Every structure is written in C-alpha cells, then in structure tokens.
Amino acid sequence: MTDTSRSRPTPAMLAQQNEASAPERINGAQAIVRSLEELGTDVVFGLPGGAVLPLYEALYESTRLQHTLVRHEQGAGHAATGYAQATGKVGVCCATSGPGATNLVTPLADANMDSVPVVAITGQVGKDLLGTDAFQEADIRGVTMPVTKHNFMVTSPEQIPAAIAEAFHVASTGRPGAVLVDVPKDIQNMELDFVWPPKFDLPGYRPVTKPHPRQIEEAVKLIAESKKPVLYIGGGVVKAEAHEELREFAETYDIPVVTTLMALGAFPESHRLHMGMPGMHGTVPAVAAMQRADLLIAIGTRFDDRATGHVESFAPEAKVIHADIDPAEIGKIRAVEVPIVGDAREVLSRMLKAYRREELPAPTTGKWLDYLESLQEEFPLGYQEQPNGKLAPQYVIQALSEEVGPDAIYCAGVGQHQMWAAQFVIYEKPRTWLNSGGLGTMGYAVPAAMGAKAGAPEKEVWAIDGDGCFQMTNQELVTCAVENLPIKVALINNGNLGMVRQWQTLFYEGHYSHTNLKPKESYLPDFLMLAEAMGCAAFRVTREEDVLPTIREARKINDRPVVIDFIVGEDAQVWPMVAAGTSNDEVQYARNLRPLFDEDSAGEEPAEIHEVMQDQEQATTPTAPEEQN
C-alpha cells in the first residue's frame, strides 16, 4: 500500500551485527521469549490457551517482557497495531490454536492493509496431530496467507530464534506488514541450544530503499516545469519518518500538500500549504488540487479508490511522479510518467539535493495557490444543525481537538465518526492519528487506543468511537482498567450505524433497513452503567454547553479509563462527499453548513461544485500569451 521503510536499522538488522552468544540449553517456548527480549519487545498482547501454555510458562518467568491480558484475541491484534502505529516499533500479539488464532485474522488483515509492522505468534497442535482435525486445530498459515506479508510454521525448536528474528525483519522493512509465526505445542516443549543472534535465511527478500538517480533527475525536471503541482502524500511518509523532509521540500518550492486519511499529521494542518485530506470525504481544496493539478507528486500512497473516485476522470491533466517502497503499487491504478522505487525519506531527501545540484528554478505556483486559497475561503468545513436541540457530532470533535491539542493521540473506529475525526481534529504531528484505513474495521478504536497507551504511556490517548463500533470491542475497557491504561473514549452515540444510514438516506430513499441500534428513545444499552461496571469513569452529555466542561473533567481523571457518552443527532451527515464510483469533479458540499462555533447559516441545499471550481480556477489563472492578442 504505502512507501514505509525507515532508513534507520531495525533491531533484527542490528542483531546480525553482533557476535553470537555462547549456546544456552532452553526449551522452545523460552527461546520465543528470549528472542522477543533480544529484539527489544517490551509488551505482548495476548490470551492463553492449551496450545500456548508452554509459552505462557516462559512469559511467567520473564522479568523483561510485560504481558497484557486481553479479553478477546481480536483486541490483542488491534492493540499490537495501535502500539506499532503510535511508536513505530513492531507490535506483538499471541494466541492459542484454532479459534484463538482465527480471531486474529481480522486485525492481521487490517494491519497488513495499512502497512503496520505486527508479529503474531500462535500456538498449534502437536506435529503428530497436524492434519487430523485435532481439538482446536486450524490451518492458520493457510487461513492467513492472503492477509499477511509472510508467515512461518516452525517444525523444529532450532528454527525458533531465526523464525522470530526473520519475522521482525520482514514485518518492519520494505513495505511493513503483518507476519505470523505458528509454533506447535510439542516444539515449544523441546529443548535447543539457544544462540543469539541467529542467521537470517530469506532468499529473494531484498527490498529496495534507495531510489535510482536517473528517476530522481527526471522527477525534479518535471517539478521545475510544472505550474500546478501538488504533493499527494500517503501513510508511507509517516512510516518512513519523512515528515521533516516533506515540510522542507514543500516550503522550499511552495508546493501545496494534500494528506490522505493514513497520512494525517505528516504535514502540519495549520500550515498555509496544507489543503486538507482528499477523496470521498476530503476537503474541497484538496479534491480540487488533485483534479486541477498538472503534476501529482505522489509519495507513499497507493491511489486508493476512496481518494481517486472514478479513476478514468481522476486528475485528467496531471502527469504523475509516483514514489513507493513497494514496486507493485506503482502504475497499478494510474499510469505514471516517473516511477520511483524507494524509501519515502530517501526519495524526498534526494530530490531536494538533485534540485539544488541542477540549480533548477522553483515552479511558479503563486496563481495556483491563490486558486486553492479561494476554495478554502468558499468551502470551509462546518456542520449542520441537528433537530430538537441534539448535539452536532462535529461540534463535539472540534471541541475535543481545541481542548486536548495536537500532542495527544487520537484513535478512531470506522464510519461517520472516523471521517469527522479526520476532518475536525487538527493534526500537527505524525503518529498522533490512528485508524483502520484500508480494511475499515469496526471495533478498531478501543483496543488500538489501549495499545497506543501501552506504547506511549506519557501521551494522552483518546478513542473517538461510534456506538456501533464500540459495541464490538468495548470489553477491552476491562483490560485498560486492570492494566492501568487510562485511555479516554469520546463515544459519538447516534443510536445507529451512522455511515450506512447516511448512504440509505442519500441512495436508498431513506429505507433504514436494520441500521437502528437503539430501541425507541431509550438509552439502551446504557453505556454509563456498562463503562462503570468495567472499572471506568463515565459521563453522558446531551447539551452543547456541557461538552467542554465534561471533556475538561475527563482529562483530570488518570487513574482509570473514562467514557463520555455524547448523545448526537442521528441524521448528521459527513460533508463534503464524492459518491462512490463517481468523479471527484462531482464532489458535493452541504451549503447549509454552520461554521464551527458560529451562529450563521447560508441556508442552501447540498450542491455539486464542479462549475464553481472551474470558475474560480479561470479567474485566478493567467491568460496564455498567444491568447492575449
């Protein structure tokens, strides 16, 4: 998906530089724990069962590894993902065989889609029982092969150190992803002579991180010639830790920046060059920047359908420079003039050097920026008033952002609240926005926030969740309470599967088929009682004037998790919007939006803005010399 390899060596790579230790006689389970310790792991998220009891005995003896006991294996996988996204380190989870392992499938697919380095260690039935449909046997390698970057079956105890080290190496280099290591129970009990570091045996795995100089030269020439360039930035820039190089490049050449859903925080959103998030629910300036550009400088992004809309009409006048660590992504969706395979930080750094070496002129982007700034003024984000005095969810999230600030970590589930969190929280720094982008996994937010808090305990961590998502994985609040992980949950409770309801409103004539989660006007389920039963502090907010005071009260509580149940209007919708399968030119903007914290309203209906974009571009684009006569 994204260009993600970091330039600095990983723990697995560093291990190869050390001299081998003296052999030590231990069993396979102890070898797993020792390998994790040597690779710098500090926390493992998991749930024990019969096929991993030897591993849990070894964890019991460890003084260096902390184990977080989740309430469901899916929570372990999402926690490992949140940990990895927040810290940049490899997240680790473990589960027993059969149903324990299959409960990890969704978070492994999720992590792999979003290029997150996660290693899952699963127990398996004994080698002599493989293939016999033994109790709690499942072919987890076969099940997860399509949704992991790689996976291993350990068939002898001597393989364990190399398997764990290779899993970390594969997960965290090149395009990061999820890796599974399956270890039969009898192998965990067998002894081996443990030696560290082990030797890698990964024939054919040689990810390219350094871009080809000729492609860099071609790229900077195109940039110098462009009049309407845009930096189209994906999550690979965050994972490559290339945010400083990105800012330097954008500022040096005065190029506008759009950041995808997975890249929020890679470029400061308060910066004058930042146009917002592109795509289905992106800002109008970001969508227009892509559609009207003459050059897309795509770094660490995969041209996802939610960003491009109808591909044939996407950025019709633009040439494309596409840099990605994964060569399979280049040209997969959109034809490319300059393909660059390499690490995002290396690419940006080398383009800066090449530009200066060649003494190329900066692109003349003044009129281009004027056009985009006019769209920022014409189409700001806002929200619609909710009937019967109900809270507008956008107001809640904006208030949270203003009160908590850009240093916190924000995790979102999937749906309307995810899009509002992307739109109305101001992200100034990388690794402060965690969400399930590619797979769109409901139930992600609470366990991911738990993992983020475990990895960055000094950070304030907020899960912005919907009531539909929350009911899938809220049991991990018990884990947070028991393990002293005081996350805070802003529950955007509209009593519905909100995004599905929005589509039913717009495209299915208001036929709300099985999207209502709340019977009549009750508070069932009562999330306050539920949260308190799980060891959390809990609040309910129904009035606008109580939003900020309650957020401030929640921030004072740091000895247990906090849940704030914000009761919001069920008919709030996410705007702007590009309907699925349509052109980004057909982006719609709800003209009756109330600007945040402002009483004025334009009083117009949602409208397509294709003509407005064209009219404003023509007003700010100079006439060509041959047309002036």
Single-letter code of the amino acid located at 101? A
Q: Which two tokens stand for residue 318?
A: 């633009």
Count of alpha carbons within 13 angstroms of residue 320, beta-carbon side: 23
Burial of 606 (0-12, 13-18, 19+ CB in 10 A): middle
Provide the b/e sequence for 216-241 (b: ≥16 CB within 10 Å).
Answer: bbbbbebbbebebbbbbbbbbbbbbb
Please tell me whether residue 619 adopts helix, strand or coil conformation: helix
For residue 35 the two structure tokens come to 């390998």
For residue 375, the number of C-alpha atoms closer than 13 Å in the C-beta half-sphere is 31
Which residues lie below 8 Å from residue 424, measured CB to CB, with a gap of 6+?
381, 394, 397, 398, 401, 596
Please choose, from the candidates 548, 386, 396, the residue with its C-alpha nearest in 3D space to the C-alpha of residue 464.
396
Q: Give catalytic status of residue 136 as yes or no.
A: yes
Cα Dmax for the chain: 88
Q: What is the DSSP letter of 311?
A: G
**Which tokens belong to 226?**
């462009």
Distance CA 293, CA 133 (A): 57
**Cα separation, 251 vs 248, whole angstroms:** 5
The CA-atom distances, in angstroms, between 146 and each of 142, 150, 435 are: 8, 9, 22
Catalytic, 499? Answer: yes
The one catalytic residue in 16, 24, 61, 135 is 135
Point out the catalytic residue in the list 89, 137, 168, 185: 185
Question: How many other β-carbons are positioned within 10 Å of the β-carbon of residue 535?
Answer: 14
Q: For the chain, how many residues are written?
A: 629
- Using an 8 Å Cβ cutoff, are 561 and 480 in contact? yes
- Classify residue 303 by its DSSP letter: -
Burial 137-160 (b: 16+ CB within 10 A, else e): bbebbebbeebbbbbbbbeebbbb
Active-site residue flag, 185: yes
Q: CA angle at residue 406 from 440 to 489, to 5 degrees?
A: 50
Residue with tokens 């619609």: 384
The one catalytic residue among 38, 73, 346, 476: 73
Q: Give CA separation, 213 vs 8, 21, 220, 310, 588, in Å.
A: 21, 41, 11, 33, 42
358 is catalytic: no
SS3 category, 490: strand
H, E, C per residue of 507-556: HCCCCCCCCECCCCCCCCCCHHHHHHHCCCEEEEECCHHHHHHHHHHHHC
Among 290, 499, 534, 577, which one carries the catalytic annotation? 499
Q: 10 Å Cβ neighbour count for 512?
A: 14
Helix (H, G, I), strand (E, B) or coil at 571: coil
Helix or strand holding residue 411 (H, E): strand 409-412
Is the backbone peptide bond immediately before 211 cis, with ω within 30 degrees of 0? no
Active-site hit among 57, 127, 136, 227:
136
Q: Which residues contact 505 (CB under 8 A, 6 or more apart)?
A: 571, 573
Residue 135 designated active-site? yes
284 neighbors 375 (Cβ within 8 angstroms): yes
Using a 10 angstrom Cβ sphere, with 0-12 exposed, 13-18 middle and 19 or more buried, the burial of residue 359 is exposed
- Give the residue numbers annotated as catalytic, written as ranges: 73, 135-136, 185, 499
